[in-house]
C-alpha cells in the first residue's frame, strides 16, 4: 500500500456529448467540449506547470505558469482557462515558454522562505515541485526585497495552521471554501503586494470556517497544513477506507507512517464525496487511540463491583454461560441483542445470525429503531423498498429541493455542500423546519420558502401541500396512470382534497401561513421541473413518523417526481451504517433484505444455510425488551456498539430496565454510559482497525479497510463469531469477505456484491444482482419495486404529548456539526473546541418573559425529568419552541424526552416534548446523581500481581 498520489488534471472534468479533437505537442487527443487545454494535455500524460489550478476548482488564471503556444493565436494563453477546440494545435514546451515560466517562479520564490528542508510540506509542496519542473536554479532579484516573512501564523484552528509567510496568494483556498464547501469564510484582502488571505476580521477559529479542510487540501504550499503532519512528518503509505461518522459515507485515504495515521485525506474517487470532507471525517479520528480506550475484556458479578480484566476466552465463555443459564431458567425469549449502525454490515449480519441461530429467537433490534425505522416502513409500503431513491449526484439535476426536518449543513455536511452548489446554480429551496436552520439563509443562498411549522405537525403540513397539488390541477396524471395503483390514488385524492387538509384548515395546527404553504406547494409541483425531497430525523422521530414518510411518498408520486435524476424521496441517514444495519436483518421481524421471518420460503433458505431451525415469530423491539426487563421477563442483552443509556428516550426508564437484567454484555470502544450497567465488557475495534463494508444513505456499499491492528487483538466480527461458537452455534470465517459472500448468497439485493467487485468498482449501490451487475444509482426508474406505487391515506393525528400551563414550551432535539450522536467519539477529539457542552436555544420572547439571557444556567423540565444547561437566546427558534442537542452524557438531554413513539415502528418522539424553562443556579438531581455514580460504576480493579 504505497502512498496514493491521485492525478490532478488541473481543471474539472466536463460532461458534454460533443467531442473535440486537437493536437498537443504533435499528438491528437479527443476530449469533451469545454475541457481545458491543460486537462486535454494531461489526458496525454503531459503535465503543464501550474500553481493556481487544481481539478477540484474552476480555473482562475492568476499564476501565469501554465502558458502554452497555440497556432494562429497571439501571445501565450493560459492553458487552464483556454478551452480545447477542434483543430487546435498546441505546444506546451518551448524555450520561450520555459523562460516565461522561470521568470514567474523567480518572482514567487523571491518572496518565499527558503526553508524547504525543514518545512513540514517538504516532498508534498507544489511550489517546490514547480521550481524543479521549470528548472529554477537562481533568483535574479535576490531575497532582500520586501517580503511577507514576518507575517504572523494563525494556529487557532485545532487541526491546521495558516502561515501567511508561505502564501503565494493563488486563491485556491478561497475558491475551495466557496466552490467546494460553500461556506465563503475566506477572502483576499488588500491589493498587489499587500494581498493576503484572511478568514474575515478574526482568526480561523473565530471565523465562519467550519473546518472542513477543503482549503488545506487545495493549498499548493505549506501555508495551510495539518498540525498532525507538522507533528509527525510526511506520510509514506495510504489505505482507502470509509468515514465512520455520518450516513454520507465519505471515502478517505488514511495516510500513515507505519501503522500510525498521519492524516485522513478525502478521496477524489469516493462515490459519495468526490474528494470533499467535513471536520469529523477529516480531522476527528484521534479517538481511535485515545487513552480511554478499553483494550482488555472485563467481567463482574454485579454492576456495583469493580470491573475485573480477564482473557478473551474467559469473557466470551462467561457471557455464553450466562446467556445459556438465563434461557434455561427464564425461557428462550429472555435474552436478545442490539446491533449497531456504527458497525460494519458483516458485523451486524453476524449479530442477527447469532440471535436467530444461537439464541433461537428473533430478539434482535438496532439503533435504527430510534432514528429511521419509519423510513423503512413508509418507503417499503409505498414504493416497495426500504431505502432512499437517488444517488447524491442526483441533486445536481434538481430544480426544486424540498428539505423537511433535516439540517444537512450540520448533520450531513458533505452532501450539504453538493446541495448548496446546486442552489447557487439557481435551484429553488423550500425548507420545512421548526428552526431557522442555516440553509434558510446562508451566503449566496436564500430559501424561497421557510415553512416554520410547530414540532409535531409534519403530517398536517404534507397533507396541505398535497391538497394544493390535487385541488389546483398539479397532479402528473400521466405518471400516476402509468406507474401507480389507480384505485389507491383515487381514494387518496378524495381524502386529501377534503377541506380538513387545506392549508387554511391546517394553518391552525402547523402555524404555517396558508398563502406561504400554497406558494411552496405550487413551486414544488411546477410541471416539467424536477422536485426532490430530502428529509431527516425531523420527519421520522415523531408519533406519526411512518405516516409522514408515506405522506412525502404520496406527494412525490402525485407530482411524478420519482424514477429519474433530480427527483425522489431521500432520507438523510444519521449514522454511518444505519442503512446497512437495516439491510442486514437487524429488525426483529425481518431477515436480511427485509423479508419477514414468517415467510416460509425465506426461513427455509436461512435454515438450510445455517443448519438451525429458526423462529417464525417476530421478536422484541428495544422498547419491548426494556419493558419486559422491568416486568422480570427479559434478563440478558448483548449490545454491540450502541449506548442506549444515553441515546434512547426517557433515560430513567432505560437504566431501570438495564439494572433489572442479570447479564448485560457491552461491546464498545469506551466504558460508555450503558457499560455502567453491564456485567461483561468486550472491547470493540474502531473503523481504522477492521475490514468490512458500510452502506450509506444512497445505498452505496463502501469498503472499510484495516489501517492498523485491533488494539484489543480482535475485531467485533471475530468476537461475535467466538461468542456464537461458545453458545453452541459454530461460526468460522477467515475474513469478512467470507461473511459478505454469505450475505450475497442469502440476500437478493446483495446477490452481485463481493469484495473483489467492490475493489474493482470502488463502491456499489444496491440492488446489485444479475439485472444490475454494477448496482443501481436510481431506483424505481421504469416501475416501482412493489410493481405499482401505492398511495396511502395519511390522516393527521396530533401527538398525545401536549403543552399546558405546567409545560408550555415544546422541546425539539437535534445535532450540531462538530459532534456525533452520543459524543463518545467526538468528545474525545479537539472538536470540543466548537461544542464543549449541550446548550438550550430559545427565542428572545420566551427568554425575556423568564428573565433569561445567554449564558444563564436554566432548568429544563418535562413530565419525564429535569436537567440544567446553559441558555443561548437566538432567533433561530420560533416563540414557544426550544432546542438542544444530546451529545454530552452529563447533560442528559434524554432525561427529558418521553416514551411516546411512532405508531408503526416505535421510533421515539424525540422531536416533541412539552417542557418548562426557568433560571436556576444548580445542576439537576439526575445530573448530580449521575456524576456521582458514574465513577463508581466504572471502577476497574487493579490488575492482580
Ligand atoms: S476549512 Fe473549510 S470552511 Fe474553513 S476556511 Fe477552509 S474551506 Fe473554508
Ligand atoms: S493559503 Fe495556500 S491556497 Fe491559499 S492563497 Fe495562500 S498558497 Fe494559495
Ligand atoms: S460528511 Fe459524514 S461521512 Fe463525510 S466526512 Fe463528514 S462525517 Fe464523515
Ligand atoms: S495554472 Fe493556469 S494560470 Fe495558474
pLDDT digits (tens, 9 = 90+) for 556-595: 999 999 999 999 999 998 788 989 999 999 999 999 999 9
Concatenate the DSSP letters of all residues of 754-779 into one string.
Answer: -HHHHHHHSEEESP-SSSSTT--SSS
- For residue 696, the SS3 value is coil
Instruction: State which H helix or E strand residue 741 sits in.
Output: helix 736-746
CA-nearest residue for atom 2, ligand 1, is 212
Low-confidence ranges of the chain (pLDDT < 70): 139-143, 370, 944-945
CA-nearest residue for atom 6, ligand 1, is 215
Structure-block grid coordinates of residue 417 = 455542500
Cα-Cα-Cα-Cα dihedral of 314, 636, 351, 911, to 10°? -130
Pocket of ligand 2 (CB under 6 A): 167-173, 197, 218-221, 223-224
CA-nearest residue for atom 1, ligand 3, is 414
CA-nearest residue for atom 8, ligand 3, is 281
Q: Rounded to whole angstroms, how far apart are CA atoms 899 and 651?
A: 10
Residue among 246, 254, 285, 820 whose CB has most ligand 3 atoms within 8 A, to mutate: 246
Structure-block grid coordinates of residue 785 = 419495486
Atom from ligand 1 closest to the CA of residue 210? 3
Q: Rounded to whole angstroms, how far apart are CA atoms 784 and 792?
A: 15
pLDDT, residue 542, reads: 81
Residue 181 CB less than 6 A away from ligand 1: yes
CA-nearest residue for atom 3, ligand 2, is 219
Contact criterion met (CB below 8 Å) for 569 and 562: yes
Q: Rounded to whole angstroms, how far apart are CA atoms 620 and 634?
A: 10
Cα-Cα-Cα-Cα dihedral of 770, 775, 777, 779, to 10°? 30
| Percentage of residues of the chain with pLDDT beyond 70 | 99
Pocket of ligand 4 (CB under 6 A): 50-53, 61-66, 78, 80
Atom from ligand 3 closest to the CA of residue 248? 3
For 444, phi and psi rounded to 5 degrees? 70, 15
pLDDT, residue 447, reads: 98
How far is the centre of ligand 2, averaged over its atoms, from the C-alpha of 169 (Å)?
Answer: 5
How far is the centre of ligand 1, averaged over its atoms, from the C-alpha of 259 (Å)?
Answer: 28
How far is the centre of ligand 2, averaged over its atoms, from the C-alpha of 438 (Å)?
Answer: 27
Instruction: State which H helix or E strand residue 595 sits in.
Output: strand 595-596
How far is the centre of ligand 1, averaged over its atoms, from the C-alpha of 148 (Å)?
Answer: 22
Residue among 185, 207, 226 whose CB has most ligand 1 atoms within 8 A, to mutate: 185
CA-nearest residue for atom 6, ligand 3, is 278
pLDDT, residue 115, reads: 82
Structure-block grid coordinates of residue 530 = 424536477
How far is the centre of ligand 3, averaged over its atoms, from the C-alpha of 695 (Å)?
Answer: 13
**Among 581, 535, 658, CA closest to 369:** 581
CA-nearest residue for atom 8, ligand 1, is 177
pLDDT, residue 200, reads: 85
CA-nearest residue for atom 5, ligand 1, is 209
How far is the centre of ligand 1, averaged over its atoms, from the C-alpha of 406 (Å)?
Answer: 22
Instruction: State which H helix or E strand residue 482 sits in.
Output: helix 477-483
For 172, phi and psi rounded to 5 degrees? -60, -40
Question: Does the pTM of the predicted model rise above 0.85?
Answer: yes
Contact criterion met (CB below 8 Å) for 690 and 344: yes
Ligand nearest to the CA of 185: 1
How far is the centre of ligand 3, averaged over its atoms, from the C-alpha of 217 (Å)?
Answer: 16
How far is the centre of ligand 4, averaged over its atoms, from the C-alpha of 735 (Å)?
Answer: 48
How far is the centre of ligand 1, averaged over its atoms, from the C-alpha of 130 (Å)?
Answer: 25
How far is the centre of ligand 2, averaged over its atoms, from the C-alpha of 221 (Å)?
Answer: 7
Q: Rounded to whole angstroms, how far apart are CA atoms 351 and 703?
A: 19
pLDDT, residue 404, reads: 96
Residue 245 CB less than 6 A away from ligand 3: yes
Ligand nearest to the CA of 105: 4
Q: Which single residue is written with the C-alpha cell 503535465? A: 47
How far is the centre of ligand 3, averaged over its atoms, from the C-alpha of 212 (Å)?
Answer: 10
Q: Rounded to whole angstroms, how far apart are CA atoms 873 and 886?
A: 18
Residue 211 CB less than 6 A away from ligand 1: yes
Residue among 51, 153, 162, 171 whose CB has most ligand 2 atoms within 8 A, to mutate: 171
Residue among 176, 206, 264 whose CB has most ligand 1 atoms within 8 A, to mutate: 176
Amino acid at each position: 500500500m504505497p502512498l496514493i498520489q491521485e492525478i490532478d488534471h488541473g481543471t474539472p472534468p466536463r460532461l458534454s456529448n460533443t467531442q473535440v479533437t486537437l493536437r498537443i505537442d504533435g499528438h491528437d487527443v479527443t476530449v469533451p467540449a469545454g475541457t481545458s487545454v491543460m486537462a486535454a494535455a494531461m489526458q496525454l500524460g503531459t503535465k503543464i506547470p501550474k500553481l493556481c489550478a487544481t481539478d477540484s476548482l474552476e480555473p482562475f488564471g492568476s499564476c501565469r505558469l501554465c502558458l502554452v503556444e497555440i497556432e494562429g493565436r497571439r501571445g501565450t494563453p493560459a492553458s487552464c482557462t483556454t478551452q480545447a477546440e477542434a483543430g487546435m494545435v498546441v505546444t506546451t514546451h518551448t524555450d520561450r515558454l520555459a523562460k516565461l515560466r522561470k521568470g514567474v517562479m523567480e518572482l514567487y520564490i523571491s518572496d518565499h522562505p527558503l526553508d524547504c528542508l525543514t518545512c513540514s510540506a517538504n516532498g508534498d509542496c507544489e511550489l517546490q515541485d514547480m521550481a524543479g519542473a521549470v528548472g529554477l536554479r537562481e533568483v535574479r532579484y535576490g531575497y532582500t526585497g520586501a517580503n511577507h516573512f514576518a507575517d504572523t501564523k494563525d494556529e487557532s484552528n485545532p487541526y491546521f495552521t495558516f502561515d501567511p509567510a508561505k502564501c503565494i496568494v493563488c486563491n485556491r483556498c478561497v475558491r475551495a471554501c466557496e466552490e467546494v464547501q460553500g461556506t465563503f469564510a475566506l477572502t483576499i484582502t488588500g491589493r498587489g503586494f499587500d494581498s493576503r488571505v484572511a478568514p474575515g476580521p478574526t482568526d480561523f477559529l473565530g471565523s465562519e470556517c467550519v473546518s472542513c479542510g477543503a482549503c488545506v487540501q487545495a493549498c499548493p504550499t505549506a501555508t495551510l497544513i495539518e498540525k498532525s503532519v507538522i507533528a509527525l512528518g510526511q506520510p509514506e503509505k495510504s489505505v482507502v477506507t470509509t468515514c465512520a461518522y455520518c450516513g454520507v459515507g465519505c471515502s478517505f485515504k488514511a495516510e500513515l507512517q507505519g501503522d500510525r495515521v498521519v492524516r485522513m485525506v478525502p478521496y477524489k474517487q469516493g462515490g459519495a464525496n468526490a474528494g470533499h470532507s467535513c471536520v469529523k471525517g477529516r480531522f476527528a479520528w484521534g479517538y481511535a487511540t485515545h487513552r480511554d480506550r478499553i483494550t482488555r475484556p472485563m467481567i463482574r458479578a454485579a454492576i456495583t463491583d469493580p470491573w475485573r480484566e480477564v482473557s478473551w476466552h474467559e469473557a466470551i465463555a462467561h457471557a455464553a454461560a450466562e446467556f445459556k443459564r438465563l434461557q434455561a431458567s427464564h425461557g428462550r425469549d429472555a435474552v436478545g441483542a442490539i446491533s449497531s449502525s456504527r458497525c460494519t454490515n458483516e458485523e451486524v449480519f453476524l449479530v442477527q445470525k447469532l440471535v436467530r441461530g444461537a439464541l433461537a429467537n428473533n430478539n434482535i433490534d438496532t439503533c435504527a429503531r430510534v432514528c429511521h425505522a419509519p423510513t423503512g416502513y413508509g418507503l417499503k409500503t409505498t414504493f416497495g423498498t426500504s431505502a432512499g431513491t437517488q444517488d447524491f449526484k442526483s441533486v445536481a439535476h434538481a430544480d426544486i429541493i424540498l428539505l423537511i426536518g433535516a439540517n444537512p449543513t450540520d448533520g450531513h455536511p458533505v452532501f450539504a455542500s453538493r446541495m448548496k452548489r446546486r442552489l447557487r446554480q439557481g435551484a429553488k429551496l423550500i425548507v420545512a423546519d421548526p428552526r431557522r436552520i442555516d440553509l434558510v439563509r446562508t451566503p449566496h443562498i436564500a430559501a424561497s420558502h421557510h415553512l416554520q411549522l410547530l414540532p409535531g405537525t409534519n403530517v398536517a403540513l404534507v397533507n396541505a401541500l398535497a391538497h394544493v397539488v390535487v385541488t389546483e390541477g398539479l397532479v402528473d396524471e400521466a405518471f400516476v396512470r402509468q406507474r401507480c395503483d389507480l384505485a389507491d390514488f383515487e381514494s387518496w385524492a378524495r381524502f386529501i382534497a377534503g377541506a380538513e387538509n387545506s392549508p387554511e384548515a391546517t394553518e391552525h395546527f402547523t402555524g404555517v401561513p396558508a398563502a406561504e404553504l400554497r406558494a411552496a406547494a405550487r413551486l414544488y409541483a411546477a410541471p416539467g421541473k424536477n422536485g426532490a425531497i430530502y428529509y431527516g430525523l425531523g420527519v421520522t422521530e415523531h408519533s406519526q413518523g411512518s405516516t409522514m414518510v408515506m405522506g412525502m411518498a404520496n406527494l412525490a408520486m402525485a407530482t411524478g417526481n420519482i424514477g429519474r435524476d433530480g427527483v425522489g424521496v431521500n432520507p438523510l441517514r444519521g449514522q454511518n451504517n444505519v442503512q446497512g444495519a437495516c439491510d442486514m436483518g437487524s429488525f426483529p421481524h425481518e431477515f436480511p433484505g427485509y423479508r419477514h421471518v414468517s415467510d416460509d420460503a425465506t426461513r427455509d433458505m436461512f435454515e438450510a444455510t445455517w443448519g438451525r431451525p429458526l423462529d417464525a415469530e417476530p421478536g422484541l423491539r428495544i422498547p419491548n425488551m426494556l419493558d419486559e426487563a422491568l416486568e422480570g421477563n427479559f434478563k440478558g442483552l448483548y449490545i454491540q456498539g450502541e449506548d442506549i443509556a444515553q441515546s434512547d428516550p426517557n433515560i430513567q426508564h432505560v437504566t431501570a430496565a438495564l439494572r433489572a437484567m442479570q447479564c448485560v454484555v457491552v461491546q464498545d470502544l469506551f466504558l460508555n454510559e450503558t457499560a455502567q450497567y453491564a456485567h461483561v465488557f468486550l472491547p470493540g475495534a474502531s473503523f481504522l482497525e477492521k475490514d468490512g463494508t458500510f452502506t450509506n444513505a444512497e445505498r452505496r456499499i463502501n469498503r472499510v479497510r484495516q489501517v492498523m491492528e485491533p488494539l484489543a487483538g480482535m475485531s467485533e466480527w471475530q468476537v461475535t463469531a467466538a461468542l456464537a461458537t461458545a453458545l453452541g452455534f459454530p461460526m468460522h470465517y477467515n475474513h469478512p469477505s467470507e461473511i459478505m459472500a454469505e450475505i450475497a448468497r442469502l440476500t437478493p439485493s446483495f446477490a452481485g456484491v463481493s469484495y473483489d467487485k467492490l475493489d474493482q468498482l470502488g463502491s456499489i449501490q444496491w440492488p446489485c444482482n444479475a439485472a444490475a451487475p454494477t448496482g443501481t444509482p436510481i431506483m424505481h426508474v421504469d416501475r416501482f419495486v412493489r410493481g405499482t406505487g401505492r398511495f396511502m391515506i395519511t390522516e393527521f393525528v396530533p401527538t398525545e404529548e401536549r403543552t399546558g400551563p405546567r409545560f408550555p414550551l415544546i422541546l425539539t432535539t437535534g445535532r450540531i456539526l462538530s459532534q456525533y450522536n452520543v459524543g463518545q467519539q467526538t468528545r474525545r477529539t479537539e472538536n470540543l473546541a466548537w461544542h464543549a457542552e449541550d446548550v438550550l436555544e430559545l427565542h428572545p420572547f420566551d427568554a425575556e418573559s423568564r428573565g433569561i439571557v445567554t449564558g444563564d444556567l436554566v432548568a429544563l423540565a418535562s413530565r419525564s425529568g429535569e436537567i440544567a444547561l446553559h441558555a443561548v437566546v437566538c432567533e433561530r427558534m420560533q416563540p414557544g419552541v426550544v432546542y438542544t442537542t444530546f451529545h454530552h452524557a452529563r447533560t442528559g438531554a434524554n432525561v427529558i424526552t418521553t416514551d411516546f413513539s411512532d405508531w408503526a415502528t416505535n421510533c421515539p418522539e424525540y422531536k416533541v416534548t412539552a417542557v418548562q424553562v426557568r433560571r436556576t443556579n444548580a445542576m439537576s438531581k439526575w445530573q448530580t446523581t449521575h456524576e456521582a455514580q458514574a465513577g463508581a460504576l466504572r471502577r476497574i480493579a487493579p490488575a492482580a500481581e
